[in-house]
Amino acid sequence: MSLNQRLQAPLLTALLACGALTAVNSVHAHQVWLENAGGQARLHFGEFNENLRETSPGRLDQFKGVPALEQQRAGAAAQRVEGQLAKDAFVYTTTGTPDTLFAAASYPLIDRSKRNLPAMIWQPSARWVASLAKPVAPTAPLDLVPTGKPGELKVVYKGAPLPKAKVQLAAPSGWTREAEAGEDGTVTFVTPWKGQYVAEVKHSDKTPGEVQGEKYGEASYVTTLTFVLADGMASPVLPEPPKAH
């Protein structure tokens, strides 16, 4: 190996590691969230507060198939709804007046070997509720649900409250605010504007596991909760979506 090659090797290694880190951080910055109107639910991938929705062809194709949607109404059994891939969302036809919708997306295992770290599984999921006035029972490993009290949400991980979890709420304008869950897993937000809100919570679990024969050393969860308020002040619109590079 020449002197020039020896000098370039550490730089190349650093760049590869940086690239892997950028890819992982890019995924972590994103979320999936549900919107529901007129009998159609849409599962978006991107960043709601920045009005960024990934498209197909593109990053929306990175998921392992179309996630199934679970539709729940009071007093009725949960219904599974199959969807299809559209230009900027996974699209589903809902029936009746659901109280809550839920979808968990499957993403390929993230290889972090270049950083000497074990593989990581990223588990994004999304919930939509028709109202914050009704409590909703958690069903996902990491869930964010309304308690029925004004502005109060609860973070639950594997059936138990998750104290100190950071919950970020994005208002209809994209304005965001963060709150830390108390010992009972609850947070309370003031929601002065009418329109759609998206709340998000993240949690990492470094307990090793295996999924579909693939081993991982860390599970990274991100769950969103979407709700629409009919009353309140008129909200500024979301910002213009970021321009494609």
For residues 204 and 13, is the Cβ–Cβ distance under 8 A? no
Q: What is the pLDDT of residue 96?
A: 86
Q: Is residue 69 part of a domain?
A: yes
Q: Is residue 243 part of a domain?
A: no
Q: What is the pLDDT of residue 12?
A: 33
Q: What is the pLDDT of residue 28?
A: 59
This prediction has a pTM of 0.87
| pLDDT tens digits along 43-90 | 999 999 999 999 999 999 999 999 999 999 877 889 999 999 999 999
Q: Is residue 237 part of a domain?
A: no
Domain region containing 117: 3-229
Q: What is the pLDDT of residue 241?
A: 83
For the chain, the domain total comes to: 1
Q: Is residue 238 part of a domain?
A: no
d(CA 35, CA 196): 9
Q: Is residue 239 part of a domain?
A: no
Q: Is residue 95 part of a domain?
A: yes
- The DSSP letter of residue 89 is S
d(CA 144, CA 222): 10
Q: Is residue 234 part of a domain?
A: no
Q: What is the pLDDT of residue 212?
A: 87
Task: Calculate the alpha carbon distances from 106 to 21, 36, 179, 203 in Å.
Answer: 20, 21, 28, 17
The residue ranking higher by pLDDT, 66 or 18, is: 66
Q: Is residue 241 part of a domain?
A: no
